[in-house]
Amino acid sequence: MQVGRALISVFDKTGLDLFARGLNDLGIEIVASGGTAAYVAELGIAVVPVEELTDVPELLGGRVKTLHPGIHAGILARRGREADLDQLREHGIRTFDLVCVNLYPFQSVTGRRNVREEEAVEMIDIGGPALLRAAAKNFLDVVPVCEPARYGELLDLLAAGGVDLDLRRRLAAEAFAHTAAYEASIATWFADVETFPPQVLLSLERQTGLPYGENPHQRAAYYSEAGVRRHLLSRVEQLNGKPLSFNNLNDLDAARALAREFALPTCVIVKHANPCGCGVAATIEEAYEKALAADPVSAYGGVIALNRRVSAELAARLGEHFVEVLIAPDYEEEALAALRRKEALRVLADRERRGPVPGDRDYRRVLGGFLVQDADTEVDDREGMEVVAGEAPDERLWGDLLFAWRVAKHVASNAIVVARDLQTLGIGAGQMSRVDAVRLALGKAAEHGHDAAGAVLASDAFFPFADGPRLALDAGVTAVVQPGGSRRDEEVVEAVREAGATMVFTSRRHFRH
């Protein structure tokens, strides 16, 4: 299909200079609206302002520019229908063969903190979506364009003879997806006053393709929610290694979420979306040694998240082990050089400093829909917790209890964490029985030479019976933190009291399925 006349109306002028010049060089007439026409004219390129076709100037401060039959009839006319063409001739309207539109930046404006409602409302584009949808509807005769990334490709095709039907159909799909995402972001913004509105519209943008999914026979890609302030890979730069995989990203999400719980130097090692080791210390080197020593067997092939710069010394230690993914805020030059000697090691620099946003939602895919809930992003502290057995913890013990409790929040339920001196000693994850989770955590600790004497234990949910705490107490655990709320709380508390140990109720559960 040849193009003789193009309509351009864009907010984002990225690449427009090259595109407009390319169209002009090909002898294609350019019609443009408002600011776009002024921009093209400043480039020294011939352009016809929209108002010359509508005989009406921009109205209402620019709210009305292109909403006119002289524009939309030229887009929607079916070239194969003589009746359509007769009507165009009757009213002196010419057709458009290409329509290039992108929309007001509603998502970026409303993504800012404390944006005023009137400012957000003015970023709701009316004419742009109408133009784009009209062009996409008539893809048999019109080339719809909404992505600047397409400009170069289209200029090459137009110079070579035209744009084929298959590409026009794909461009139409892009256009409708573009306008649908835009409308979804507006609907979401308006519905934000309701906790859980009758309809939730998810709009996703592909960030990257993935080699495969959870298993090699599954295709996969990574998508972020359109318009979000931050996502898993926002402000993350890959400095080395193979492309990230589906499982890498899943584990990376788990590792970063746990690392965010702590302000002190912290290392988190994750396998299969569960932490197998976590350490907090005075230095990041010491934190890594703690996390690795917690379960060095499970750490093999893990994803490691650090919240401090990686030194040459630490890089040397990391190089002694098989690591799938390493993420840290920064790397010393010598450290990065050492890590790059392992060609497959995925090294990521995390420069994202924005934290979770109040009101973030968690979506879990189930058959035919989603379970939607508030994200469990709050960091728990001792305020609101209650000592129900034993003496009040001193500062060291409080530190261990809070450390174990925050780690347990990121372990699959049923979850048990045994810890001491800000180091996990054993983790029991994803067990169907809580007492089995205790056995697993204690067994993992013993397997790697960790004595539970003087350790603490955290449980993500209440103990329904006293058997779990008794196993831990018999192994030497001296303090337990759990939500409480069981019918047998008094029985559980009494078992701890009889052992001369301490128990703290958090009154908050942290299931993670």
Q: Please provide the distance, in angstroms rounded to a whole number, between the alpha carbons at the two ends of the chain.
A: 53
Coil, helix or strand at residue 434: helix
> What are the helix (H) ranges across 151-299?
151-160, 165-191, 246-259, 284-294
Burial readout 260-271 (b: 16 or more C-beta within 10 A, e: otherwise):
bbbeebbbbbbb
Q: Give the burial class of 243: count Cβ atoms within 10 A of its Cβ; 0-12 exposed, 13-18 middle, 19 or more buried.
A: exposed
Q: Give the burial class of 286: count Cβ atoms within 10 A of its Cβ; 0-12 exposed, 13-18 middle, 19 or more buried.
A: middle
- The full 3-state SS of 64-87, as one line of letters, equals ECCCCHHHHHHHHCCCCCHHHHHH
Give dist(CA 475, CA 83) in Å, integer. Answer: 88
* Angle value at C-alpha 49, between 45 and 55, nearest 5 degrees: 155
Is 178 catalytic? The answer is: no
Q: Give the burial class of 459: count Cβ atoms within 10 A of its Cβ; 0-12 exposed, 13-18 middle, 19 or more buried.
A: buried
Catalytic residue among 13, 272, 342, 448: 272
Q: Name the token pair of 413.
A: 């339920």
Give dist(CA 269, CA 415) in Å, integer. Answer: 17
Is 342 catalytic? The answer is: no
Query: Dihedral through CA 347, CA 350, CA 356, CA 362, nearest 10?
Result: -20
**How many distinct helices (H) and strands (E) make up the chain?**
18, 21
**What is the number of other CB atoms lying within 10 angstroms of the CB of residue 372?**
12
Scan for tokens 């929610």, then name that residue. Answer: 225
Cβ proximity of 417 and 425 under 8 Å: no
Coil, helix or strand at residue 370: strand
Catalytic residue among 13, 68, 137, 448: 137
Residue 179, φ and ψ in degrees, nearest 5: -70, -35
Contacts of 304 (CB under 8 A, 6+ apart): 255, 267, 268, 269, 270, 288, 291, 318, 323, 325, 326, 327
Cβ proximity of 444 and 475 under 8 Å: no
**Spacing of C-alpha 179 from chain mean position:** 21
Rounded to 10°, the helix 467-474/434-447 angle is 20
CA distances from 396 to 39, 220, 445, 455 (A): 65, 46, 20, 11
Catalytic residues: 137, 272
